[in-house]
Amino acid sequence: MPRREDWLPYGLDERKRAFQQIADGAETYAADLGLTAAEVDRIKAIAVEYAFAVDIFERNRVNMRALRSWRDAVISNKRSIKPVSERPMFDNTPMPVRTQAGLVAEMRKYVRRIKSASGYREGMGIGMKILSPNHVKKPLRDLAPKLKVTALGGFKVRIACQMEGMSALQIEFKRNGEERFEKVAFLTSLPEVIYIEPRVMGVPETGVMRAIFIKRNEPVGNYSNTPPITIFGA
C-alpha cells in the first residue's frame, strides 16, 4: 500500500471532526501562528459550514428512506384498516449565513498558512490533526502541554491547550504562599471553563497553574508552562 502524505482524512465525518480540531487550534494558538481575529473567525466558520452540509445531508438521507417507506405503504397492493401515517418531512434548516463553496480548498489554504508560520511547532500539528498519517510522532516522554489561562470572574478560569492526541488534561493550581500544587480539574476537551474555590469567598487570590497530559489514566510527558493567574469574584 502506498504511503499517504495528505493530512486530510477520507471520510466526511472524519473531515468534519478534523475541521473542528483545526478551528479549536487556530483559536488557541492564534498569537503563536500570527493569525488575525478575522482569519480565526473564518476558520471557525469553515468548520461550522462544513459540519452543517454533512449533517443536513445525512439527516435528509434518513428522511428520504422514511419517505420511500411511506410511499410504498400508500401505493401497496395490500389493504389495511390502519390510517396512513403523516408524510415524513425534510429538514429545511437554513444554512449558516454567508456559507461559501469550496470549503475543503479554503481550509487547505489555511493549513498551509498555519504550517508556514514562524511560531508553528509539531505539537500544534498533532493536536490539529494536520500532519500526514506517516509523520513521526514525538515520544510521549517529550510531550508537554502549552497552557493558556484567562481569569473570567466568578472565580472561573478559561483553559486552552491542544490535546496533542492525549485523552485528558490534568489541571493544577498553586496558591501564593503554598508549597504544593492542588488538582483542580480533569478535562477531556478544550477550551473549557473551570471553577477554582478560593480560600476566602469573595477575596481575589493569586497563584500559578500547570497541566500534564493523561493517557490511559496515567500522567505522561512533562508538566506545562506555569502561567500566573488571579482569580476573583466579580
Residues 74-101: tens digit of each pLDDT: 888 888 888 888 888 998 899 999 898 9
Q: If you average pLDDT over residues 213-225, what whole number do you get?
A: 92
**What's the DSSP call for residue 141?**
G
Residue ranges of E strands in the chain? 148-153, 156-160, 168-175, 182-187, 192-195, 205-215, 218-220, 228-231
pLDDT in tens, 190-215: 889 999 999 998 899 999 999 999 98
> What CA–CA distance (Å, rounded) separates 150 from 27?
14
Do residues 207 and 41 make contact, with C-beta atoms less than 8 angstroms apart? no
Rounded-to-10 torsion of CA 46, 52, 58, 60: -140
pLDDT at 174 over 50: yes
Q: If you average pLDDT over residues 124-133, what whole number do you get?
A: 83
pLDDT at 2 over 50: no
pLDDT at 57 over 50: yes
> What CA–CA distance (Å, rounded) separates 132 from 98?
31
β-bridge mates for residue 149, sequence order: 159
Range from 20-29, 128-137, 149-158 carrying the lowest mean pLDDT: 128-137
Range from 71-85, 95-109, 171-185 carrying the lowest mean pLDDT: 71-85
Residue ranges of E strands in 10-132? none
pLDDT at 182 over 70: yes
pLDDT of residue 134: 64
pLDDT at 106 over 90: yes
**In sequence order, what are the residues at sequence separation of 6 or more whose Cβ sits closer than 8 angstroms to the Cβ of residue 62?**
none
Greatest mean pLDDT among 124-128, 140-144, 228-232 lies in 228-232
> What CA–CA distance (Å, rounded) separates 210 from 221?
13
The band of 138, judged by pLDDT with boundaries at 50, 70 and 90, is low
> What CA–CA distance (Å, rounded) separates 13 from 69?
26
Residue 120's alpha-carbon distances to 71, 108, 114, 192, in angstroms, are: 55, 16, 7, 23
Rounded-to-10 torsion of CA 28, 31, 36, 40: -10
pLDDT of residue 169: 95
pLDDT of residue 187: 95
Whole-angstrom Cα Rg for the chain: 24
Do residues 25 and 162 make contact, with C-beta atoms less than 8 angstroms apart? yes
pLDDT at 51 over 80: yes
Residue 222's alpha-carbon distances to 46, 95, 184, in angstroms, are: 34, 43, 18
> What CA–CA distance (Å, rounded) separates 200 from 127?
37
pLDDT at 135 over 80: no
Of 42, 14, 7, 11, nearest to 26 by C-alpha is 42
The band of 159, judged by pLDDT with boundaries at 50, 70 and 90, is very high
